[in-house]
Amino acid sequence: MSSSNDSRRILITGGAGFIGSHVVRRFVKDSNYYVINLDKLTYAGNLDNLRDIENESNYEFVKGDICDEDLVHQLFKDHDFDGIVHLAAESHVDRSISNPLEFAQTNVIGTLTLLEVAKNNWKEGKNKLFYHISTDEVYGSLDEEGLFTEKTPYDPKSPYSSSKASSDHFVRAYGNTYELPYVISNCSNNYGPNHFPEKLIPLLINNIKKKESLPVYGKGENIRDWLYVEDHAAAIKLIFEKGRSGETYNIGGFNEWKNIDLVEFLCDLMDKKLDNEKGTSRKLITFVKDRAGHDLRYAIDASKLSKELNWRPSVTFEEGLEKTVDWYLENEKWLEDVTSGEYMKYYKEHYSKT
């Protein structure tokens, strides 16, 4: 397939994953774009996330590794990309604690490989854009007060956040040293459809369905700021199109929840959806050993994005969570497929939460 002359050709990495699949769909539905999705299909990548758009004429999937410089170079030669939206990463903090080298490889070396190929191919960098999708976890951990702004100094504390911080630094270094046009956004915790059920919200939904225990780390007092994935995807498209080159944008929902409060809220919602007697799911809550080096609180100040680009979340947390629960209840096969086989074996071996 080839792109028409006036469409913008973009490379999206990690497009078969949770956030990436929503981002790919959004760009593919806009006929101004021709999208190449490069994804290695690790345990977190799933082409079922993209079945509805896989035959669109402005979309192509390429299975491959962002660390494979020859492959990335060939893709640049074949498509002469106008931009990259880079999401491919290892993304789960618990996995980074048991396997930090894999995180350095994909998140740091993978990003550096993309930067190097972009630099070498985009000799005339004007009108090109390297967009790195990052996390608020690079800023470290907050006490009870304050919010992360774009000016908060980096202070990553887990192997995952350290690898993302390192890749952010490399992106800025390429901007500063080689004048590579770039933009970075740092987002809070996402939730929604296609979320792999090792992260808190889909793990709880899956376990409640199966009447299995709900592991809450420590005392459940850690705080996260939750954003519906479609709102993140909308922010990403907006920043790609209208964000200023060389800038950083924080994305968040102004929606902080203490873990235990969220767990209880979700239990009650699931009871309603499953026609359970009130309180049934709460009985499954089990306090387990805390995560090593567990960051206490993340909270994002997203006012730059809302002032400059007029972005706002489109749903409340209550609405987003209900949509999410409905999606998981309607997509039992998806959940069965991703929680069977190799993943479950790995999960049970590495994450005994008792």
Compute the least distance from the CB of residue 159 to ligand NAD, in Å. 13
Contact flag: residue 156 with ligand NAD (CB under 6 A): no
Compute the least distance from the CB of residue 191 to ligand TYD, in Å. 8
Binding stretches for ligand TYD (CB under 6 A): 93, 189, 199-200, 203, 215-217, 222, 224, 259, 291
**In degrees to the nearest 10, what's the CA dihedral of 214, 219, 220, 222?**
-150
The DSSP H or E segment spanning 161 is helix 159-178
Contact flag: residue 192 with ligand NAD (CB under 6 A): no
Q: Is 160 part of the annotated catalytic residue set? A: yes
- Could you tell me the two tokens for 107? 């998140």
Q: Is 137 part of the annotated catalytic residue set? A: yes
DSSP string, 100-142: HHHHIIIIIIIHHHHHHHHHHH-SS-TT-EEEEEEEGGGG--B
Compute the least distance from the CB of residue 14 to ligand NAD, in Å. 3
Compute the least distance from the CB of residue 91 to ligand TYD, in Å. 8
Query: Rounded CA gap, 230 and 321, in Å?
Result: 12
Q: Is 139 part of the annotated catalytic residue set? A: no
Question: CB under 6 A: which stretch of 132-140, 288-296, 326-334, 339-347 binds ligand NAD?
Answer: 132-140
Query: Rounded CA gap, 180 and 167, in Å?
Result: 15
Q: Report yes or no: 65 and 90 within 8 Å, Cβ to Cβ.
A: no
Residue nearest to ligand NAD (CB): 17
Q: Report yes or no: 332 and 171 within 8 Å, Cβ to Cβ.
A: no
Contact flag: residue 111 with ligand NAD (CB under 6 A): no
Set 65, 136, 231, 301: catalytic member:
136
Give the residue from 163, 51, 146 showing the smallest Cα distance to 110.
Answer: 163
Set 34, 59, 139, 160: catalytic member:
160
Q: For binding to ligand NAD (CB under 6 A), which residues are involved?
A: 13-14, 16-20, 38-42, 44-45, 65-67, 87-89, 91, 106, 110, 133-135, 164, 187, 189-190, 196
Catalytic residues: 136-137, 160
